[in-house]
Structure 1
Amino acid sequence: MERKIIQVEDKVPVNLLIPLSIQHMFAMFGASVLVPFMFGINPAIVLLMNGIGTLLFILITKGKAPAYLGSSFAFLSPGLLVASKFGFQYALGGFVVLGICGMIVALIIRQCGTNWIDIVLPTAAMGPVVALIGLELAGSAASTAGLLDEQIDMKNVIVFLVTLGVAVFGQILFRGFLSVIPILIAIIAGYAAAAACGILDFTAVKEAAFFALPNFQAPKFNPEAILTILPALLLVTSEHIGHQIVTSKIVGKDLLKDPGLHRSLFADFFSTTISGCLGSVPTTTYGENIGVMAMTKVYSVQVIGGAAVLSICCSFLGKLAALINTIPGPVIGGISFLLYGMIGTSGLRMLVDNQVDYSKSRNLALTSVVFIVGLSGIALNLGNVKLTGMVLACVVAMALSLIFYILDKLHLTNDL
């Protein structure tokens, strides 16, 4: 029997809303708190701003675009460089300026529309770009699980297999209420396996305060710091478009048109601007949460909003945040294996659903080049920003598609 779909606008009863919201919060938690740790700041401010940013996103997009905003990795390289040279507050200044520039880009898109996306990113290019959002993270999932260590710990393997196994078979076997929270059940099972294997560490929980206020900081501005961070605008914009397209395919609605790419992009960058003003890292739509939606067929923005409220609560509850942070890598890695794979499959599904004709040379060339560029590990350095993986593949796809479009207009192509 096919699982019931809970659509974007559907209301969810409280007894279902709470576990579904917890499931989404767990999905984003590991990656989201990793960024503040790398910057050397307290993750509480990040949890607070991620939650506030998500609620603002829901408000600005009129509750029509289900997306959780977590800590962005696109800013890590330039942000860490600025923080080490000038201090973290100057990195915050760069985040604020980039967010404002991103909002300006969103306003330009509002005037120009989104028809240009079909020209610069046709399905033969967008399908593999979306697939790469998940596929390029495969190594990260394996590393988080401890499967790429020089000496692999069998305890990690056991916890990983329990988590992944429950997630995979739960997807197939669970019925009724359990069928919509397989990720949460898998995390609980993995956590229990980790406890049985003796790899849990509760030291941080004992040392954490019950209640704690997030550490707020004000941004400082420096032209060099701003110019170092600003090129990351390309990364975040490309990532956002890819996420909105794959979410559109999952929920069965064209989110680029309603509520509109300009609204979702503006909301994304507005969240980044507010975060930078108050001392937090930039935010972005999260692939982990897209994977949860694809797996559970629960798309309700009410659930996403519930996860945001829980994130805000965790930012003030020191021991709770510390307890959630004890979830070991093999558990997060096991969940990520499935979630990232589902994002990759969504990209392939785009190619199938749109019946891309690979007897045409252009389609074959586009898909082939995009996949290889994205998975090859090659990088393009623009100042202090490195384009690699999905983002570089997206840039290459846009350039090739635009060239093909021009050649079509000049009647020089041979497969129209």
Structure 2
Amino acid sequence: MSTKKIIQVDEKVPGKLLVPLSLQHTFAMFGASVLVPIIFGIDPSIVLLMNGISTLLFILITKGKAPAYLGSSFAFIGPTSIIIANQGFQYAQGAFVVLGIIGCLLALFVRRVGTKWIDVVLPPAAMGAVVALIGLELAGNTVQGGSIGANLMTDTAASQDFIVFFITLGVAILGSVLFKGFLSTIPILISIVVGYLSAIAFGMVDFTPVLETSLFTMPHFQWAKFDLNAILTMLPVLLVLTSEHIGHQVVTSNVIGRDLMKEPGLHRSLFADYFASALSGLIGGVPTTTYGENIGVMAITRVYSVRVIAGAAIFSICMAFVGPLAALISTIPGNVIGGVTFLLYGMIGTSGLRLLVESKVDYSKSKNLILTSIVFVAGLSGLTVNFAGIELKGMILASVVGIILSVAFYLFDKAGWMNESAEE
């Protein structure tokens, strides 16, 4: 057993640790969270503000028992792009609000019926694979380029790109297993700092955005507008976001060793997630979701305190108003972020495998073998299905396929049609 100290969800964190631990979570979420408003062509400051406020609301609604950072959701990109092209972003905001309200009603329904239905729609053989895919489908982002990863797979990748990437990854790995005491709680932050300094040494950092930005900025607020067609275009995301939320709560439960589905309860965390999305959409932001990157940070550091998550939320709010802060973080090269997420995404994937092991899934049974196999292939094959204006692919497609198969197998079993039932 590891002797590294665990700081549990409700434990206080020493003052000297709070700032660096919170900064780790801020760095982990920043790249992905600001990428969404960049795609939509809106002000990233309003998104950073609402990410911070949404996270604090989530902590409050879940009674401080569910550590989670709420960042910008990628599940909405497809339908939102369609609505922006046809009507404008404000009508997408209205769809966010309505979807959030429907999600809150769903949470109240879950409170009444409980969570036993989850074992029917996503039994362990499917859930473990879905949780693993949360990390595994993101793995390519660490080396294939883009705003949140490295550019090691491009023709223009130079030797220094690989050097910075491996320096960052190496420090993250070695720090996680070798650092002791205070340093053992911040290996991710240290790896980012070392990687960033390496990038500066290679001349890969441009400080122009920091020098040109205003000292104080004001996020761009705008009210949502509502249209039935926009709302109908957005509705299918309800299934996607709910599946993603359940998966994140399951993997977080595994990481911290507490069943968040029971306490504070899926209904509370689901309500908090959707309420935050509705509020964000109402005043100009984008929908939020619990972030896998921050789950990965908790898995590595074994620090689960909601006070640390709250600290990261406060940093996010500050960045919305203090221009140089956000600009400075935005100068961190993709190779550095890629080096860190290379480890973080792998930790999330491993949590899914851990779920399969701890649930003692019996793979001598055909239904379990098929569920895990099909879910993995659906998520990793690159297959894309277009449905009602949204793209189903990766973990989302795998979740939908897993739910359909699980429910079908359950009904077959109840009807006595399964050959394994007949043999028993």
Q: Provide TM-score, normalisation by structure 2.
A: 0.96
- Name the SS for the 1:115 alignment partner: coil
1:16-415 equivalences under 5 Å are: 16-143=17-144, 144-415=149-420
> 1:152-194 CA deviation, whole Å, 9 max, x = no partner?
2222111111110100111111111101100000000110010
Q: How far apart are the structure 1 equivalents of 2:153 and 2:388?
A: 31
Letter in structure 1 aligned against 2:248 = H
Q: How far apart are the structure 1 equivalents of 2:155 and 2:276?
A: 40
Runs (5+) with no aligned partner, structure 2 = none
> 1:314-354 CA deviation, whole Å, 9 max, x = no partner?
11101111011111100111111100000000000111112
- Note if contact 1:194-1:200 (Cα within 8 Å) is conserved in structure 2: yes
The Cα shift of 1:231 comes to 1.3
Q: How far apart are the structure 1 equivalents of 2:363 and 2:240?
A: 29
Letter in structure 2 aligned against 1:61 = T
Letter in structure 1 aligned against 2:272 = A
Q: How far apart are the structure 2 equivalents of 1:223 and 1:148?
A: 43
The Cα shift of 1:213 comes to 1.1
- The alignment covers a number of residue pairs equal to 416
- Note if contact 1:69-1:285 (Cα within 8 Å) is conserved in structure 2: yes
The Cα shift of 1:355 comes to 1.6
Q: How far apart are the structure 2 equivalents of 1:186 and 1:30?
A: 16
359-368 vs 67-76, which moves further: 359-368
Letter in structure 2 aligned against 1:341 = G
396-405 vs 177-186, which moves further: 396-405
- Name the SS for the 1:415 alignment partner: helix
Q: How far apart are the structure 2 equivalents of 1:224 and 1:38?
A: 22
Letter in structure 1 aligned against 2:128 = G
Q: How far apart are the structure 1 equivalents of 2:331 and 2:63?
A: 35
- Note if contact 1:167-1:335 (Cα within 8 Å) is conserved in structure 2: yes
Q: How far apart are the structure 1 equivalents of 2:152 and 2:78?
A: 25
Runs (5+) with no aligned partner, structure 1 = none
- Name the SS for the 1:212 alignment partner: coil
Letter in structure 1 aligned against 2:347 = M
- Name the SS for the 1:102 alignment partner: helix
Percent of residue pairs bearing the same amino acid type: 64
- Note if contact 1:95-1:282 (Cα within 8 Å) is conserved in structure 2: yes
Q: How far apart are the structure 1 equivalents of 2:96 and 2:152?
A: 34
Letter in structure 2 aligned against 1:139 = G
- Note if contact 1:146-1:153 (Cα within 8 Å) is conserved in structure 2: no
- Note if contact 1:72-1:284 (Cα within 8 Å) is conserved in structure 2: yes
The Cα shift of 1:150 comes to 2.8
Letter in structure 1 aligned against 2:119 = D
> 1:40-84 CA deviation, whole Å, 9 max, x = no partner?
112111110000000000000000100000001111111122112
Q: Provide TM-score, normalisation by structure 1.
A: 0.98
The Cα shift of 1:151 comes to 3.0
- Name the SS for the 1:381 alignment partner: strand
RMSD between aligned alpha carbons?
1.0
The Cα shift of 1:85 comes to 1.6
The Cα shift of 1:16 comes to 0.6
Q: How far apart are the structure 2 equivalents of 1:231 and 1:414?
A: 34
- Name the SS for the 2:386 alignment partner: strand
The Cα shift of 1:414 comes to 3.0
